[in-house]
Amino acid sequence: MVTTTELLEKKCRHLDTGLTAAEIAEYLVAVAGWSLKDGKIVQTFSFNNYYETLAFINAIAYVIHAEDHHPELVVTYNRCVVKFDTHSVNGGKGGISENDFICAAKVDAIFQQSFA
């Protein structure tokens, strides 16, 4: 079973194959708080105000850009919903890949380090 530490040490890479439902379930254990919704892994992060919300977005933007794996973000005054999926897998039909979990672990680490 993959661990959070292992995910944090990895880099995203081009993938053509997504994870199976069983593999997704195993990976979700490593990123507590994330869930599978509508074909994406999703986590909601809460903040005290809009400034903190934007600071979080700026912090994760650097990591996301470095990994070249970009989530869907839903931003409100004191919340940011982060949704990851991989468009290139499964013949371009999309799905969940290891890259989604690598980035989820890195986003979690930023939140824990600066906002929790």
pLDDT in tens, 67-94: 999 999 999 999 999 999 998 888 878 8
- For residue 114, what pLDDT is reported? 86
- pLDDT at site 91: 81
Mean pLDDT of the chain: 95
A 10 A CB-CB count for 39 gives 12
At residue 1, the pLDDT reads 85
pLDDT (average), residues 17-28 = 95
Residue 55 has pLDDT above 80, yes or no: yes
pLDDT of residue 93: 83
pLDDT band for 96, please (50, 70, 90 cuts).
very high
Residue owning tokens 């530490």:
5
Q: At what angle do helices 98-114 and 21-30 cross, to 10 degrees?
A: 20
Q: When comparing pLDDT for 109 and 114, which is higher? A: 109
Q: Residues near 17 by Cβ (< 8 Å), separated by ≥ 6?
A: 89, 90, 97
Beta bridge partners of 36: 41
CATH number at residue 50: 3.30.1360.20
Structural domain of 67 = 4-114
Dist CA 81 CA 111 (whole Å): 13
pLDDT of 38 reads 95
Tokens of 86: 């991989």
What total number of domains does the chain contain? Answer: 1
Global model pTM greater than 0.75: yes
